[in-house]
Amino acid sequence: MRVLSETNRPLTVNEIAAAIGIYDPREVKSIYEDLKHIAKTVRRKGGVLYMEPPQCANCGYVFKNLTKPHKPSKCPRCRSERILPPRFTIEY
């Protein structure tokens, strides 16, 4: 939580993992679950966890209607797998 609140730009899950010393891909994926809990904690403290949605690097499609934070595998418009991951930041 400190990593997100101390940065001045949104971070991807991989950047968050590197900042806290996690390099195992399975553990990196678990950060998405942790972000749900972090959002609740931040909300109780009067802040907000913002997510910049993932975007297709090929056609620019923005994944706006995600039910939970994750990196989609393919673009529904062009079927490209070049997806820019979501980015997260905390503001109080």
Q: Which domain holds residue 46?
A: 2-91
Please give the tally of structural domains in the chain. 1
Calpha distance 9→35 (Å, rounded): 17
pLDDT for residue 1: 79
* CA dist 76 → 61, 70, 80 (Å): 8, 15, 8
pLDDT for residue 77: 97
Dig out the tokens for 4 from the structure.
């997100």
* CA dist 5 → 8, 25, 47, 76 (Å): 8, 24, 10, 33
State whether residue 83 is helix, strand or coil.
strand
Segment 63-92 shows an average pLDDT of 94
pLDDT for residue 4: 92
pLDDT for residue 10: 97
